[in-house]
């Protein structure tokens, strides 16, 4: 009997120990997409872009592969407009698109029309894309949803949005918010600095905030590339003596980033 | 759904006793139309309200019954496989001990058989009750195959009972051949049952033989069964079942060893435990390769599905998988090292154990090092970034691959040392043979490390997968070369006495750790395999709109898996108890007079 008790006790302790491991891991829940009605009549280009961003990061599951892990080009890190024009002109391009909008649509519906070098299916010599057509299951984006993503990809780098707003009666769209506001693109570096609230913590544009290191002489201390990294990944290097509280700016457009980098690298502290 | 119901209710033909060719043709056409109408039906699209609500989580109920059915199914299908092999060895060596042990293994399996059927029936009823539209679609896809499955179950039952109860009646001579043939048939039917049931799971993950746009059935039964994941899952489950079955009967032997009163009993159950562990580890070693094949096919079928499992929300569960597999490897090695105490020859290799243990522990630590952890601001500041400067690179897959393959190689080394412990090799070329073996080990380990580091850290992501091919090959070369060289070297070897039963009680707990970790692991991996479908009953064809169509947090998964494992443990104890009970005989009551007489005699 004692052998039985010891064996059972040992087994139960082991089982509970394995269960305990699940408690120390991050508790993430994966919700299934829910359908929402969107009143197309109330859509503005800004809310359409916001819907596109949400679809890009949500139902479209684009970020599952298009991220910094190297499975597919991370489209948030380069100018999609310029890259699209280059690809259309590339001799390897097999599609029919003549402009950026139609290229982006084609790349979602027929991903193999152009495969970025090194990202093709194994053994296909970059002739076949592993990306599924987004209008087919399991992603199943509607035409309006695809247009919204195109609008987002165009707008994120400050390029003109050429997609026409959908018209007609209410249509079901998954994971969308018609009232969500799209970020308004800053026109110059000062606007960008104000938009992202840099002066709340840093000394810049008249602010003398001591929370973060002064930006008035940042051009003297850091190279442009270091400034760029500090904005993209604030936690990559923490300035000595300052708390690591600077947030990331996932909604910052590439154009805004570059304007700020250029502006800040000129801040050498010698200005009046 | 209404269309389907109407089609089912439409009479196929009116009563006409005379008949005519035209009328028969019309009937055939009508029947054909009905059949094609059924096939052309799209997959159902149930709304949330279409799912019956019984006041508790439907998924939870199905989860428990499905997993319990799979546990017992695995046990019942796997045990006869190695029982047949052991029986054959006993027959060829004319050693009755093998035969007795095989028979005792079957006793455990037989009791589990009824429980398998009970859980299977309950699972089917739960599915029909809680997910009627889904089951409707599944029945439409597989049609009469389910009846063939039921028929196979009858056949399996008959063969199992004849095989078990006919054991002593068909024990020697030509009758033994009859018995062995029955065992072979039993395993043939059992494996067929396994692959048939697998086709339902793989159809849900990667459906074939259907119109992908509508889900309408377009292919024949074979096309529906033979989806891209069917064979990888067949191989994976076949091997995993044997490992699991070996581990469970090993726990039975360990329990009997600890409770044994005599040296003979201890010796018998020690040997039985060793054999079970041998079976479990032999089946376990190739399991990672089968797992790679399955995941490679998952990626080939849908990169999205593969990334969700290995790099998305489910990827965290692989940290627990690492803990479980490392527990299995550590327990198996620990048992082998203890087992060397059975023979004096084991002393020769004792010095190597600490180095093997070091590699296993290091491998375990690398494997459980996570890549991304949620840090607080001050922790990030102390680390100097999102990843630890030294441990960060250990969090990614290439480091873990190196760890896993080195651990597998070290486990084989323990196994090889154990096999050599009771032998004195006499062949003239033994020094060359040993030198060759050492060179193979060093070259394989160096290749595993080099391929992992070079492809993992110094090449593009696309080429990272290439490293695992080299690592698999290196590991396979060690296992195959080790087996071949040892087989040749053992020719004419002097056998040293093995003292069965002369092993520590502590070692027996390794035999409990194995099935516990296996059971937890099976439940966990089964959950991951099922969850990659996300909110689809049948991936990309039939959506799951039930209230449970989300991926639960990891602690919830842990609780479910723990609960199911505890339930399985309770049933296994019941089986062990029943197996013991069947061998217990109450002594006949003595007449009162005799007792009085005996008392008076004192």
User: Each residue of A159-216: pLDDT tens digit?
Assistant: 889 998 886 554 444 443 333 334 456 778 888 887 787 877 788 887 777 778 889 8
Lowest mean pLDDT among A116-120, A135-139, B119-123, B406-410: A135-139
> CA angle, corner B438, sides to B435 and B443, nearest 5?
125
Question: In which band, very low, low, confident or very high, does the pLDDT at A8 lie, cut at 50, 70 and 90?
Answer: very high
Contact B122, B62 (CB under 8 A): no
Please check the confidence at residue A219 and state whether its pLDDT lies above 60: yes
Segment B332-367, tens digit of pLDDT: 999 999 999 898 899 999 999 999 999 999 999 998
Helix, strand or coil for residue B542?
A: strand
Long-range contacts of A96-103 (CB under 8 A, 24+ apart): A99/A162, A100/A154, A100/A159, A100/A162, A101/A150, A101/A154, A101/A162, A101/A163
Q: Is B57 exposed, middle or buried (0-12, 13-18, 19+ CB in 10 A)?
A: middle
Instruction: Give φ, ψ of B210 to 5 degrees.
Output: -135, 165
| Per-residue confidence (pLDDT) for residue B79, from 0 to 100 | 92
- Range 181-220 of A in CB contact (< 8 A) with B: none
CB B512 to CB A7 under 8 A?
Answer: yes
- Which one of A22, A118, A136 has the shortest CB-CB distance to B554? A22
Q: Taking the domains of chain A in order of start, what are their residue ranges? A: 35-174, 189-265
CB contact, 8 Å: A124 with chain B?
A: no
Q: Is B21 exposed, middle or buried (0-12, 13-18, 19+ CB in 10 A)?
A: exposed
Please give the CATH architecture assigned to the domain spanning A35-174.
Orthogonal Bundle (1.10)
Please check the confidence at residue A267 and state whether its pLDDT lies above 60: yes
Percent of chain A as helix, strand, coil, to the nearest 5: 45, 5, 55
Contact B468, B288 (CB under 8 A): no
Per the model's pLDDT, the better-predicted residue between B541 and A236 turns out to be B541
Which has the closest alpha carbon to B221: B245, B239, B196, B241? B196
| Per-residue confidence (pLDDT) for residue B23, from 0 to 100 | 54
CB A119 to CB B462 under 8 A?
Answer: yes
CB contact, 8 Å: B311 with chain A?
A: yes
CB contact, 8 Å: A29 with chain B?
A: yes
CB A243 to CB B377 under 8 A?
Answer: yes
- Distance, in Å, from the CA atom of B355 to the CA atom of B337, rounded to the nearest integer, reads 12
CB B381 to CB A238 under 8 A?
Answer: yes
| Per-residue confidence (pLDDT) for residue B222, from 0 to 100 | 94
Residue A171's DSSP bridge partners are A38
Per the model's pLDDT, the better-predicted residue between A23 and B234 turns out to be B234
- Extended beta strands in B363-458, E state: 423-424
Segment B197-242, tens digit of pLDDT: 999 999 999 999 999 888 999 999 999 999 999 999 999 999 999 9
Q: Rounded mean pLDDT of A76-90?
A: 92
List, for chain B, all residue ranges whose pLDDT scores fall below the cut of 50.
Answer: 1-20, 599-602
Residues of A in contact with B558 (CB under 8 A): 18-19, 21-23
CA dihedral A6, A8, A9, A14 (to 10 degrees): 120
| Per-residue confidence (pLDDT) for residue B178, from 0 to 100 | 96
For the stretch B388-405, what's the b/e string if a residue is b when 16 or more beta carbons lie within 10 angstroms of its beta carbon?
beeebbbbbbbbbbbbbb
Count CB-CB contacts under 10 A for residue B148: 14
For the stretch B72-104, what's the b/e string if a residue is b when 16 or more beta carbons lie within 10 angstroms of its beta carbon?
bbbbbbbbbbbbbebbbebbeeeeeebbebbbb
- Distance, in Å, from the CA atom of B212 to the CA atom of B192, rounded to the nearest integer, reads 28
Q: What is the ipTM of this complex?
A: 0.81
Which has the closest alpha carbon to B178: B161, B166, B191, B165? B166
Domains A35-174 and A189-265 equal at CATH topology level: yes
Per-residue tokens: B102: 């095989």
| Per-residue confidence (pLDDT) for residue A65, from 0 to 100 | 83
- Distance, in Å, from the CA atom of B281 to the CA atom of B414, rounded to the nearest integer, reads 11
| Per-residue confidence (pLDDT) for residue B572, from 0 to 100 | 92
pTM for the whole structure = 0.75
CB B302 to CB A138 under 8 A?
Answer: yes
Locate tokens 């110059």: which residue?
A188
Q: Given this structure, which CATH class describes domain A189-265? A: mainly alpha
CA closest to A241 among chain B residues? B381
């Amino acid at each position: 009997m004692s052998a039985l008790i010891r064996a059972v006790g040992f087994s139960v302790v082991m089982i509970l120990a394995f269960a305990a491991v699940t408690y120390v891991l991050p508790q993430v829940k994966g919700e299934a997409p829910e359908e929402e009605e969107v009143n197309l009549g109330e859509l503005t280009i800004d809310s359409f872009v916001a819907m596109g961003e949400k679809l890009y990061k949500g139902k479209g599951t684009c970020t599952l592969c298009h991220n910094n892990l190297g499975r597919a080009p991370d489209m948030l890190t380069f100018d999609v407009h310029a890259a699209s024009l280059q690809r259309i002109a590339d001799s390897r391009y097999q599609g029919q698109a003549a402009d950026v909008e139609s290229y982006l649509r084609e790349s979602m519906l027929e991903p193999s029309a152009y495969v970025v070098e090194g990202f093709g299916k194994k053994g296909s010599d970059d002739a076949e894309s592993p990306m599924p057509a987004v209008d087919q299951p399991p992603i199943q984006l509607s035409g309006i949803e695809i247009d919204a993503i195109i609008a987002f990809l165009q707008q994120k780098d400050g390029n003109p949005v050429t997609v026409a707003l959908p018209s007609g009666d209410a249509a079901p769209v998954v994971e969308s918010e018609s009232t969500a506001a799209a970020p308004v693109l800053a026109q110059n570096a000062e606007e960008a600095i104000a938009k992202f609230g840099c002066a709340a913590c840093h000394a810049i544009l008249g602010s003398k905030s001591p929370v973060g290191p002064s930006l008035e002489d940042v051009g003297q201390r850091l190279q442009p590339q270091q400034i760029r990294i500090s904005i993209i990944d604030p936690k990559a290097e923490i300035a000595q003596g300052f708390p690591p509280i600077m947030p990331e700016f996932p909604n910052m457009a590439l154009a805004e980033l570059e304007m700020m980098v250029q502006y800040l690298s000129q801040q050498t502290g010698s200005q009046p | 759904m209404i269309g389907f119901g109407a089609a089912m209710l439409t009479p196929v033909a009116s009563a006409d006793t005379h008949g005519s060719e035209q009328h028969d043709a019309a009937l055939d056409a009508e029947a054909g139309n009905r059949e094609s109408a059924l096939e052309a039906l799209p997959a159902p699209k149930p709304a949330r309200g279409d799912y019956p609500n019984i006041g508790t989580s439907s998924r939870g109920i199905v989860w428990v019954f499905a997993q319990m059915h799979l546990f017992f199914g695995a046990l019942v299908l796997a045990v006869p496989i190695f029982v047949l092999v052991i029986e054959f060895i006993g027959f060829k060596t004319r050693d009755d001990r093998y035969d007795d042990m095989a028979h005792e293994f079957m006793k455990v399996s037989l009791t589990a058989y009824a429980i398998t059927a009970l859980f299977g029936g309950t699972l089917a009823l739960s599915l029909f009750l809680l997910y009627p539209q889904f089951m409707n679609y599944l029945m439409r896809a597989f049609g009469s195959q389910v009846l063939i499955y039921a028929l196979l179950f009858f056949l399996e039952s008959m063969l199992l009972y004849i095989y078990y109860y006919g054991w002593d009646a068909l024990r020697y001579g030509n009758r033994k051949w009859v018995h062995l043939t029955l065992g072979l048939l039993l395993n043939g039917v059992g494996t067929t049952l396994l692959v048939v049931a697998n086709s339902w799971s793989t159809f849900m993950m990667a459906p074939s033989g259907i119109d992908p746009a509508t889900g309408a059935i377009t292919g024949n039964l074979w096309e529906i069964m033979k989806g891209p994941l069917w064979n990888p899952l067949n191989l994976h489950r076949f091997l995993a079942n044997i490992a699991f079955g070996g581990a469970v009967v090993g726990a039975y032997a360990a329990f009997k060893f600890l409770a044994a009163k005599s040296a003979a009993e201890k010796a018998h159950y020690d040997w039985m435990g060793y054999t079970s562990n041998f079976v479990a580890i032999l089946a376990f070693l190739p399991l990672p390769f089968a797992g790679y094949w399955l995941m490679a096919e998952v990626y080939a079928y849908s990169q999205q599905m593969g990334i969700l499992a290995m790099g998305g929300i489910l990827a965290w569960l692989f940290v627990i998988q690492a803990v479980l597999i490392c527990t299995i490897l550590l327990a198996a090695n620990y048992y082998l090292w203890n087992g060397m105490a059975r023979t004096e020859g084991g002393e020769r290799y004792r010095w190597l154990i600490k180095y093997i243990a070091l590699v296993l522990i290091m491998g375990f630590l690398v494997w459980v090092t996570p890549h991304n952890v949620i840090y607080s601001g001050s922790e990030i500041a102390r680390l100097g970034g999102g990843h630890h400067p030294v441990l960060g690179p250990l969090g990614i897959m290439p480091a873990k691959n190196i760890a896993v393959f080195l651990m597998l190689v070290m486990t084989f080394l323990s196994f090889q040392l154990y096999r050599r412990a009771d032998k004195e090799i006499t062949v003239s070329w033994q020094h060359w043979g040993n030198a060759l073996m050492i060179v193979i080990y060093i070259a394989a380990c160096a290749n595993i490390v080099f391929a992992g580091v070079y492809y993992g850290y110094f090449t593009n992501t696309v080429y990272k997968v290439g490293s695992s091919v080299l690592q698999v090959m290196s590991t396979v070369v060690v296992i195959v070369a080790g087996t071949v060289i040892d087989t040749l070297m053992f020719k004419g070897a002097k056998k040293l006495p093995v003292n069965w039963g002369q092993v520590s009680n502590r070692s027996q707990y390794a035999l409990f750790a194995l099935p516990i970790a296996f059971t937890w692991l099976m439940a966990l991996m089964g959950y991951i395999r099922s969850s990659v479908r996300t909110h689809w009953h049948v991936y990309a064809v039939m959506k799951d709109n039930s209230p449970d169509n989300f991926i639960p947090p990891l602690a919830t998964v842990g609780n479910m898996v723990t609960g199911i494992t505890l339930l399985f443990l309770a049933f296994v104890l019941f089986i062990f108890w029943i197996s013991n009970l069947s061998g217990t005989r109450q002594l006949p009551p003595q007449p009162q007079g005799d007792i009085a007489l005996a008392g008076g005699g004192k």
